[in-house]
Chain A
């Protein structure tokens, strides 16, 4: 493991230490603002849109994402851009323009709570429990991945890294709740960009600019195909092995909409916004940095491909996953190196904090308050939230050690999670636009959609069904889950009683849900969600043109 070891010096550790101190300071400061459970879990619904927007994108910008997308850049070339553009921007804009009025307007505190109002308690409980379990598992994977990278780069013991990471995340969330998590997400957004930018700059200088990079990619095993996004997608003869139908419907629609519009760890950031207008702008503001992040992930992936001899080995130090760490080792002098290490550590912690703060909210509001201890005073639930945070992280540490026992747990959990999101999105979208959909149709559609995807996944694991790759399996699983959930909703609704209109007001399309009082100051064009959303989509299309 010494091959990846960075030459970190005193100044790099100083930069890392200053970050830890700042993060804990934010936790203590945010603690003073907490007066009620809404403060702890929803930041008192007080955040301006640019803060929640950056937190929204930052909650997604975990280090798994950064390291993984650079790896994909090296492996698949520019087709990786689909994950950023068609695979994210349309869904984020849709969330802001179409779905946010229902989420924010109904004053729900979580995604499961929306399901309780729209459908019934069984739907709610099923979703709340599966979400809580998934969040703890993913927090554990984030923690384990953080420890692995600290071990490889800095030579820390695995065990020390896990405990240090967990204690810091634990401290700032227990102290400051969602406010601390969101502040730190915004902070880490800037730190991670400042840390990754030097890799792109120095890397491009080394390979002779963008033109030099593309020329060298043409001569690499990836070849010309690595420089196009759509040109070869008439069939599956391209690096990603996917046709345009798969990219548009599988990635662009089912997986992307499922992830961005129903994943509470994301939606929670928008729910903490100060008003409806800010809530709607949250995901749309997040879409703008999302458009540009490939410059510090996919481009370094390509730089690694053409500058690191032997990258792409099946195991050892030269796997695609080490693209970013290898470039840090080769290109960054002390100083910016410290910022880059801090950025990676910060983004692991932010990813984990997003999972933990999603978990403690759902556990407290949707499981404890809804089914176990109702009608206690508000301070009681803040306490429960703090205890849930501690318990969630302790269990997360446990799952981190389970994760250590598997080679490829990241893939498995990603797959499980996307399968779980796809039926949820189907249930949501049908329930939001078809007011006749009954309460029990909601439950069975969610449950059977999940079950269908789960069975397919088991068949994949046991190799009863053969797929070309895990990626292909997750696409089929998500597609199947989506179709099953929609069909079940259509079949069961006619046989079960619908909900009266009065109970659905503000929850479904077509029953006068107000889009909130528009403040005078929000009537200016740069605060108009629809216009901003259109600009984001147009920018995505323009960005595709040179890399067609």
Chain B
């Protein structure tokens, strides 16, 4: 049961949120540092900056959702044995 709870810590929202916060920070940083040649390649769009901020926002939203609506407690044992009749 304890292990099950531990596993629930890895809610998919936490995984997505974590990855996108990291990606968002990296890509935003690159975007701030982008020079003229990068801007020229991207047709003048500060694409790294915008995508970085976008990914950061998605990551934070996922984490916020997790905070506001945490995963339910592990299901009761009877519910789990129910679909074990094979």
Q: Judge if A336 is at the interface, Cβ distance under 8 Å.
A: yes
A45 to B48, CA, bound (A): 39
Contact assessment for B19 and A11 in the assembled complex, using a CB-CB cutoff below 8 Å: no
Contact mask B33-75 → A, CB, 8 Å, 1/0? 0100011011111011001101100100000000000000001
Which positions 1-40 of chain B face chain A at CB distance < 8 Å? 3-4, 6-10, 12, 15-16, 18-20, 22-23, 26-27, 30-31, 34, 38-39
Contact assessment for B19 and A336 in the assembled complex, using a CB-CB cutoff below 8 Å: no
Q: Judge if A448 is at the interface, Cβ distance under 8 Å.
A: no
A378 to B34, CA, bound (A): 55
A26 to B15, CA, bound (A): 8
Contact assessment for B26 and A15 in the assembled complex, using a CB-CB cutoff below 8 Å: yes
Contact assessment for B38 and A333 in the assembled complex, using a CB-CB cutoff below 8 Å: yes
Contact assessment for B30 and A334 in the assembled complex, using a CB-CB cutoff below 8 Å: yes
**Cβ distance A120 to chain B, nearest Cβ, rounded Å:** 19
Contact assessment for B15 and A339 in the assembled complex, using a CB-CB cutoff below 8 Å: no
Contacts of A201 in B (CB 8 A): 45, 47
Contact assessment for A205 and B45 in the assembled complex, using a CB-CB cutoff below 8 Å: yes
Contact assessment for B42 and A35 in the assembled complex, using a CB-CB cutoff below 8 Å: no
* Nearest opposing residue in chain A for B18, CB measure: A22
Q: Judge if B76 is at the interface, Cβ distance under 8 Å.
A: no
Contact assessment for A335 and B43 in the assembled complex, using a CB-CB cutoff below 8 Å: no
Which positions 525-547 of chain A face chain B at CB distance < 8 Å? none
Contacts of A378 in B (CB 8 A): 84
Q: Judge if A483 is at the interface, Cβ distance under 8 Å.
A: no
B22 in complex: contacting residue of A18, A330, A332, CB < 8 Å: A18
Contact assessment for B41 and A333 in the assembled complex, using a CB-CB cutoff below 8 Å: yes
Contact assessment for A36 and B84 in the assembled complex, using a CB-CB cutoff below 8 Å: yes
**Cβ distance A17 to chain B, nearest Cβ, rounded Å:** 11
B43 in complex: contacting residue of A11, A107, A194, A202, CB < 8 Å: A202
* Nearest opposing residue in chain A for B8, CB measure: A33
Contact assessment for A187 and B6 in the assembled complex, using a CB-CB cutoff below 8 Å: no
Contacts of B26 in A (CB 8 A): 11, 14-15, 335
B15 in complex: contacting residue of A22, A38, A206, A334, CB < 8 Å: A22
A11 to B26, CA, bound (A): 8
Q: Judge if A393 is at the interface, Cβ distance under 8 Å.
A: no
Q: Judge if A29 is at the interface, Cβ distance under 8 Å.
A: yes
**Cβ distance B68 to chain A, nearest Cβ, rounded Å:** 15
**Cβ distance A519 to chain B, nearest Cβ, rounded Å:** 12
**Cβ distance B38 to chain A, nearest Cβ, rounded Å:** 4
Contact assessment for A26 and B27 in the assembled complex, using a CB-CB cutoff below 8 Å: no
Contacts of A22 in B (CB 8 A): 15, 18-19
Q: Judge if A320 is at the interface, Cβ distance under 8 Å.
A: no
* Nearest opposing residue in chain B for A194, CB measure: B55
A340 to B15, CA, bound (A): 19
A30 in complex: contacting residue of B10, B39, B42, B75, CB < 8 Å: B10
Contact assessment for B38 and A15 in the assembled complex, using a CB-CB cutoff below 8 Å: no
Q: Judge if A239 is at the interface, Cβ distance under 8 Å.
A: no
B19 in complex: contacting residue of A19, A44, A51, CB < 8 Å: A19
Which positions 346-386 of chain A face chain B at CB distance < 8 Å? 378
A18 in complex: contacting residue of B19, B31, B54, CB < 8 Å: B19
* Nearest opposing residue in chain A for B39, CB measure: A333
Contacts of B19 in A (CB 8 A): 18-19, 22, 187, 191
Contacts of A26 in B (CB 8 A): 10, 15
**A32-B6, A336-B48 in contact; A194/B16 too (CB < 8 A)?**
no
A339 to B22, CA, bound (A): 12
Q: Judge if A425 is at the interface, Cβ distance under 8 Å.
A: no
Contact assessment for B44 and A30 in the assembled complex, using a CB-CB cutoff below 8 Å: no
Contact assessment for B12 and A332 in the assembled complex, using a CB-CB cutoff below 8 Å: no
Contacts of B3 in A (CB 8 A): 32-33
Contacts of B80 in A (CB 8 A): 36, 44
Contact mask A1-44 → B, CB, 8 Å, 1/0? 00000000001001100110010011001101101101000001
Q: Judge if A416 is at the interface, Cβ distance under 8 Å.
A: no
Q: Judge if A473 is at the interface, Cβ distance under 8 Å.
A: no
Contact assessment for B23 and A339 in the assembled complex, using a CB-CB cutoff below 8 Å: yes
Which positions 157-188 of chain A face chain B at CB distance < 8 Å? 183, 186-187
**Cβ distance A182 to chain B, nearest Cβ, rounded Å:** 8
**Cβ distance A502 to chain B, nearest Cβ, rounded Å:** 17
Contact assessment for A334 and B38 in the assembled complex, using a CB-CB cutoff below 8 Å: yes
Contact assessment for B58 and A198 in the assembled complex, using a CB-CB cutoff below 8 Å: no
Contact assessment for A332 and B20 in the assembled complex, using a CB-CB cutoff below 8 Å: no
Given contacts A202-B42, A331-B41, 20 further A-B contacts (CB under 8 A): A11-B30, A22-B15, A22-B18, A25-B15, A33-B4, A44-B80, A46-B75, A51-B12, A183-B10, A187-B19, A194-B58, A202-B45, A205-B43, A330-B41, A332-B42, A333-B38, A334-B30, A335-B47, A336-B27, A336-B48
